[in-house]
Structure 1
Amino acid sequence: MIVLFGYKNIRFLDTTLRDGEQTPGVSLTPVQKLKIAEELSAIGVNVIEAGSAVASEGEREAIKLISDAGLNAEICTYARAKTEDIDLAVKCGVDSVHLVVPVSDLHITKKLGKTREEVYAMAMETVAYAKERGLIVELSGEDSSRADQQYLARLFRDGVAHGADRLCFCDTVGLLTPEKTAEIIPPLCFAPLSIHCHNDLGLALSNTISALRSGATCAHTTINGMGERAGNVPFEEVVMVLEKLYGYDTGIDTTKIYALSTLVSQLTKIPLAANKPIVGGMAFTHESGIHAHGLLRDPTTYEPMSPETVGRKRRIVLGKHSGTASVQSALKELGYEPGEKHLAEIVARVKKVGDMGMKVTDADVMAIADSVMLLECKPVISLKQFTVVSGSNAIPTASATMVVNGTKVTGAATGTGPVDATIKVLQQSVAKFGDITLEEFHVDAINGGTDALVDVTVKMRKDGRVLTSRGARTDIVEASVEAVIAGMNRLLRDENENRRSNTD
């Protein structure tokens, strides 16, 4: 363990439900906020900033719902230096207030139209009032990094004298550097000090770690780095940097990180960047033949940590960079045991598909292997026809006629859209023969224009088996049907059939 962290207990205040929800276009219902709060508490977050009680009636409903949930975490609300904000916080039943006071001259004069002394007086009065009402107070300096540091020190020192339990330094527009952070944090630690960093210039993580090494004892974070503009420092990155690079036991259940990240992404409808550290789709995904070969021998060759540490699994995808080892590994997982010559031909064909700029799915690999190994693959499902009705005055409805294992099946289903309705009727039609669930659905437009070729990739599951397949058409519904039918056919195949080369 690093000595600089050895003498203190680092805590986490997560503000996904307040600062994170200020991401443009994001609006969570009280029930959704409660669900996220429950998971934040379960993973080990110390303080949950549940929202801003002054914002709206709906926001107060959500904060009260979370406050009454009996979570292990301390529940907090944002408050301005106004006694009415404190009264609302008390009505919501929170444990603490994140009392935010503008401290830079820019904010004091331009935003509030006041003087330093007026803001100072407001802060002292509100801190004392909040303590009288039985609240834990974290006094926070908004735009601290652009403030006169002597004024900020006075406000923090006297705030503690008036009863503030904790302090917070806010780098509101991400202007700190790690070196500057290390210089200005130590003189401000009159009480346990939090660091609240925004990521406008990409230094939020570095500045947060620098502050924690320099005397701060709490990091303000958001899941997935959500927040206004470029967002806040990501919770998952701070936790794993402390755990992995500094050997510090954060007390966070890191195996729940990916599930929490995915939940927040789904509820906020903010997708994760594919290359985002730790939780992005590509974080533990490998294609390169050299990398994959090394990973199959020893995962630490090209991974800084085990994916299971954060609740994930390693993926080796196939494409033009794939080598023999990774293709052979994928084939083994799919139940194939090709001989040396067959394997070489399969590898060549996989690379050819990749050279065409296409994703190589599990269904593609199986089709290539069947062809090369001269294996007969009788389709389990044969689609005879499907029809979709959708429009401004119609509930999206799909009907389909299929032959499944020699049995004719006709059905219909409604959905939230034409694609959803179509996939549902396909799933219903094969339900008797196997419960197949759709895990992921991804769409790419291959070229521009209204006649763009649409590439649909799906991930489906049956009895623990997961398989990806692809469909490409100019019609998104037809492409979706093609992908789903291809995947279902592969999942419903006899798992005990012989897929081994008898001869090369």
Structure 2
Amino acid sequence: MRDGEQTPGVSLMPEEKVWIARNLDSLGVDVIEAGSAVTSAGEREGIKAVVKERLNAEICSFARVLKQDIDCALECDVDSVHLVVSVSDLHIKAKLKKDRDSVRQMAVDAVEYAKKHGLIVELSGEDASRADLDYLTSVYRAGIDAGADRLCFCDTVGVMNPERTYDLFSRLTSELKVPISIHCHNDFGLATANTVAALRGGAAQCHVTVNGVGERAGNTAIEEVAVVLKSLYQVNTNLVLQNLYPTSKLVSRLMGIPVGTNKALVGENAFMHESGIHTHGLMANTATYEPITPETIGRKRQIVLGKHAGRTSVVLALREIGLEATDSQVDEITARIKDLGDKGKHVTDADLMSIADSVLDMQSEARIKLIDCTVLSGNHATPTASLKVTIDGQEVVESGVGLGPVDAALNALRKAVMGVADIKLEEYRVEAITGGTDALVEVWVKMSRGDRFISARGAGPDIIMASVIAFIEGMNRLVQEKNGISAKH
């Protein structure tokens, strides 16, 4: 949590730290680094709030190898400290302006002080990946002699590669007989690969953040490591994988950092399918185009429909939202979706639900069918509509005017079906299903014929066509048990 909160622009309130900590604990995280106690009074308040939760996880504070940092951690009553000391010559000379021996002694003094006050100590080498290995090892050995419980190797600027990481951890874990952690940054996109390589080389623990948040390009993502270990290496952890996605969503919301759409596992597109070829494979076996089931990490599969959609995609998408349709209804739904796709729009679940409901509510043997509708409107022109429909298979062409383009289209439709003159429009409502100027709109109408009332709806990117579709659907439902509609000639 501490390194994640160091993402530029992020500052968590104490109650937000508690929410995240609770979720991390439910996820099964072993150690929660709740913050850096020396940072501020507000930070200490947040760490104390996490400690008061009495979670199963060990609660840790980040600390430099300075007495004041350790005292602030003690004030928060944490279980452990993550003591960080610079170990590369670059950091020792440029940042600390000290020499190797004095820095090593600082580490020893800090470990002894923290242990004297009853803290679990993890001694961490900052910028270890650019440090002299013999010097790094000497600092680690001195730390162990001073009482350090764990060690940590920090790839502070993400310059390691998996091959070097594996070799280095194989050596360190064979020489140093205490647990060693790996702490990676993602500057070159290798944080997960390096973390897994370190674990393969003998690392006992890894430092991770939810969604890979952190400074610059972020840290190793917990969801990636957890699923890679389970799925690719058959290594079980204590993590409850089904809680990964809910935790990802919570952290994203509280930190105000959107997850990239193509982010592995937790990105919006991770279990989203559009291609007809892919969805055809999913129908046969979801493993054809999914390495794990979305439910593994608490997600659901999404079928996105657009111009690439085929009948198989539509059938699967309908099944995902609990709907069944006849072959002819699937054809109609597919045609409407492709039409939207050709206009550059993707159909969301909400869009699909509206389109499907509209089509499924229509009678398979609809007596009134729309062939074409054209509307003209302008600043000084009277809105005029012309449309072509078939009534019981006979073609009818009619026109009408109105106060607006929708009114004109519906008036033309009324004239086309004079045989049902007693149908009245009781209520008309328009809603945008999704945001944006290209939003799919849903038109609801309430219509009556005598003492019978029905509601109908139409959906599409064009409010006029959606209105006509809703009106025709309502007419068909009102006349389904009536006879006597005759086409005008």
> TM-score under structure 2 normalisation?
0.74
The change in CA–CA distance for 1:443 and 1:376 in structure 2 (over 3 A counts) is: farther
Task: Please tell me whether the aligned partners of residues 334 and 366 of structure 1 are also in contact (alpha carbons under 8 angstroms).
Answer: no
CA distance in structure 1 between the partners assigned to 2:293 and 2:181 by the alignment: 30
User: For residues 364 and 159 of structure 1, do their structure 2 counterparts lie closer, same or farther at Cα, with a shift above 3 Å needed?
Assistant: same
Question: Following TM superposition, by how much is the alpha carbon of 1:154 offset from its aligned partner in structure 2, in angstroms?
Answer: 0.2
Query: In the alignment, which residue of structure 2 is the partner of 1:250?
Result: 237
2:379 — aligned with what? none
CA distance in 2, matches of 1:376, 1:222: 60
1:153 alignment partner AA: T
Question: d(CA) in 2 for partners of 1:278 and 1:347?
Answer: 29
Q: Deviations over 1:450-484 (max 9, x none)?
A: xxxx34589xxxxxxxxxx99979xxxxxxxx9xx
For residues 470 and 109 of structure 1, the distance between their equivalents in structure 2, rounded to whole angstroms, comes to 67
Matched, 1:182 2:166: yes
Gaps of 5+ in 2: 369-424, 442-457, 479-489
Preserved contact between residue 288 and residue 322 of structure 1 (Cα < 8 Å): yes
Give 1:317's aligned residue.
304
2:179 is matched with 192
Structure 1: any 5+ residue segments left out of the alignment?
A: 1-16, 378-404, 410-425, 427-437, 445-453, 459-468, 474-481, 498-504
Q: What is the deviation of 1:293?
A: 1.2
- Relative distance call for 1:187 and 1:291 in structure 2 (3 A) is same
Distance across 1 between alignment mates of 2:109 and 2:337: 70
Aligned partners of 1:62, 1:138: CA distance in 2, in Å? 21
Q: Structure 1 331/183 Cα, relative in aligned 2: closer, same or farther at 3 Å?
A: closer
Report the 3-state secondary structure (helix = DSSP H, G, I; strand = E; otherwise coil) of the residue aligned with 1:271. coil
- The answer to whether the Cα contact below 8 Å between 2:121 and 2:148 also exists between their aligned partners in 1 is yes
Structure 1 CA distance, aligned partners of 2:333 and 2:27? 44
Deviation at residue 184 of structure 1 after TM alignment: 1.5
3-state DSSP of counterpart to 1:76: strand
Partner residue in 1 for 2:250 = 263
Q: Is the 8 A contact 2:58 2:80 kept in 1?
A: yes
Q: Is the partner of 1:282 in helix, strand or coil?
A: coil
User: Which residue of 295, 316, 336 corresponds with 1:329?
Assistant: 316
Question: What is aligned with 2:19?
Answer: 35
The Cα of 1:182 is off from its aligned counterpart by 1.4
Question: 1:250 offset after TM fit, Å?
Answer: 0.6
**Which residue of structure 2 lines up, in the alignment, with residue 338 of structure 1?**
326
Shift of 1:347: 2.0
**Alignment partners' CA distance in 1, 2:361 and 2:34:** 54
C-alpha distance 220-331 of structure 1, shift in aligned 2 (>3 A): closer
Name the counterpart of 1:112.
Answer: 96
Q: Aligned residue for 1:280?
A: 267
CA contact (8 A) 1:456 1:470 kept: no
Q: TM-score, normalised by structure 1?
A: 0.72
Distance 1:198 1:376 in 2: 65
- For 1:216 and 1:442, locate their aligned partners in 2 and report how far apart those are by CA, in whole Å: 48
Q: Is 2:300 aligned against 1:300? A: no
Alignment-mate amino acid for residue 337 of structure 2 = V
Query: Could you list the per-position Cα deviations for residues 161-184 of structure 1 after superposition, in whole angstroms to 9, with x for gaps in the alignment?
Result: 100000000000000001111122
1:56 to 40, 51, 54: 40
- Contact kept? 1:141, 1:168, Cα under 8 Å: yes
Amino acid at match of 1:139: L
Q: Sort the Cα spacing of 1:122 and 1:407 in 2 relative to 1 into closer, same or farther, 3 A.
A: same
Is 1:19 aligned to 2:19, yes or no? no
2:61 is the alignment partner of 1:77: yes
Given the superposition, is the C-alpha separation of residues 36 and 253 from structure 1 closer, same or farther in structure 2, using an over 3 Å criterion?
Answer: same
Alignment partner of 1:289 out of 276, 279, 293: 276
Q: How does 1:382-401 map to 2 (within 5 A)?
A: none
CA distance in 2, matches of 1:113, 1:271: 39
Whether 1:359 and 2:338 are equivalent positions in the alignment is no
Instruction: Tell me the distance in 2 between the aligned counterparts of 1:298 and 1:71.
Output: 41
Q: 1:307 to 1:118 in 2, by over 3 A?
A: same
Q: Could you say which residue in structure 1 is the equivalent of 2:191?
A: 204
Aligned length: 391
CA distance in 1, matches of 2:4, 2:440: 30
Q: 1:217 aligns with which of 204, 222, 226?
A: 204
Greater RCO (CA < 8 Å, at least 6 residues apart): 1
The amino acid of 1:170's aligned partner reads: C
- The reply on whether 1:122 has 2:106 as its aligned counterpart is yes
CA displacement at 1:369 relative to structure 2: 5.8
Q: Check 1:20–1:375 CA distance in 2 against 1; reply closer, same or farther (3 A cut).
A: farther
Q: Is this contact kept in 1: 2:108–2:142, CA < 8 A?
A: yes
What secondary structure, in the 3-state scheme, does the structure 2 residue paired with 1:169 have?
strand
Distance 1:456 1:188, change over 3 A: farther
Query: Any conservation in 2 of the 1:156–1:188 contact (CA below 8 Å)?
Result: no
Kindly indicate whether the alpha-carbon contact (under 8 Å) linking 1:287 and 1:317 is maintained by their aligned counterparts in 2: yes
Cα deviation code 1:363-413 (max 9, x no counterpart): 244446667957699xxxxxxxxxxxxxxxxxxxxxxxxxxx97999xxxx
Aligned amino acid, residue 42 of structure 2:
G
Q: 1:23, 1:229 within 8 Å by CA — same for their partners in 2?
A: yes
Does the CA-based 8 Å contact 1:185-1:211 persist in structure 2? yes
- 1:160 corresponds, among 128, 144, 159, to 144
Q: 1:406 to 1:112 in 2, by over 3 A?
A: farther
Change (3 A) 1:200 1:376: farther
Q: Does 1:147 align with 2:135?
A: no
Instruction: Give the whole-Å Cα distance in 1 for the aligned partners of 2:41 and 2:302.
Output: 45
State the shift of 1:186 in Å.
2.6
> CA separation in 2, counterparts of 1:97 and 1:173?
22
Pair 1:109–1:330, CA change in 2 (3 A): same
Residue 71 of structure 1 deviates from its aligned partner by 0.2
Counterpart pick for 1:237 among 214, 217, 224:
224
Question: Could you list the per-position Cα deviations for residues 304-330 of structure 1 after superposition, in whole angstroms to 9, with x for gaps in the alignment?
Answer: 111111011111121111111121233
- Identical aligned pairs, as a percentage? 51
* DSSP 3-state at the match of 1:39: helix
